[in-house]
Amino acid sequence: MKLILLGAPGSGKGTQAARICEKYNLPHISTGDIFRENIKNQTPLGLKVKAIMDSGNLCPDELTVDLVKDRLAQPDCANGYLLDGFPRNLVQAAALDTFNAPEKVLDLNVDLAGIERRLTGRRSCPACGNSFHIDFIGDTKNCPDCGAELIIRKDDNPETVKERLSVYSKSTAPLVEYYEKQGKLIAINGDQSIDGVFAEIVKVLG
């Protein structure tokens, strides 16, 4: 199964992606996670993209497409993949169609008005990669799953969140129409509990 998970920043993509990958045994490919890992390890790629990511803008298309192309060529992607955070614009979507086109595209719909709160209240675990919301975990400092100290992602500050949402509306939202025209788009109501969203996804994927 070759899947894309579309949705605004803060729509719950990462959480659902982890669950989908576990259930359907797919590699979870998050370009954001790959970039963050490179920044953490101070690789040449990480040094190149750090300032861009901190500002909430998109990393260069050519670099991002090459990264995904290499990743999808790995043996664990032979039976499919779940892409989370890629493609982010029409150039990336068209490129993906030339080397490893998706079969289904899940579009996680959420009320954009609530997104700012979702993102600014997000706490992320640098060790296991899960994220949580302060509405659910309160002011606990440690990851409920693995115990590591939680962090606030640098790009989850209010100014950067505004920029990310603007980039989403301008560049990423047009992908909905792109995949709708290809007959691959499946809309999912993202404004329900985590379990509710996942149940809807399982229902459509079978």
- The catalytically annotated residue of 71, 118, 122, 184 is 122
Query: Active site includes 13?
Result: yes
Question: What residues have CB less than 8 Å from 1, skipping those under 6 apart?
Answer: 24, 26, 79, 80, 103, 104, 205
| Cα torsion through 144, 145, 146, 148, rounded to 10 | -40
- Is residue 123 flagged as an active site residue? no
| Residues 168, 89 contacting (CB under 8 angstroms) | no
- Closest-CB residue for ligand AMP? 32
- In the shown chain, the binding pattern of residues 84 to 123 toward ligand AMP, with x for contact by CB under 6 A and - for none, equals -xxxx---x-------------------------------
Choose the binding region for ligand AMP from 29-37, 69-77, 108-116, 182-190 (rule: CB under 6 A).
29-37
By C-beta, is 23 or 154 nearer to ligand AMP?
154
Write the binding mask 39 to 78 for ligand AMP: x where contact by CB under 6 A, - elsewhere: -------------xx--xxxx----x--------------
Question: Interface with ligand AMP includes 32 (CB under 6 A)?
Answer: yes
Residue 153 annotated among the catalytic residues of the structure: yes
CB 6 within 8 A of CB 172: yes
Instruction: Tell me the DSSP string of 152-199.
Output: --GGGSHHHHHHHHHHIIIIITHHHHHHHHTT-EEEEE-SS-HHHHHH
Distance of alpha carbon 78 from alpha carbon 172, whole angstroms: 27
Q: Give whichever of 85 and 184 is closer to ligand AMP, judged by the CB atom.
A: 85
CB 76 within 8 A of CB 26: no
Minimum Å gap between C-beta 206 and ligand AMP is: 27
Residues in touch with ligand AMP (CB under 6 A): 9, 31-32, 35, 52-53, 56-59, 64, 85-88, 92, 155, 164
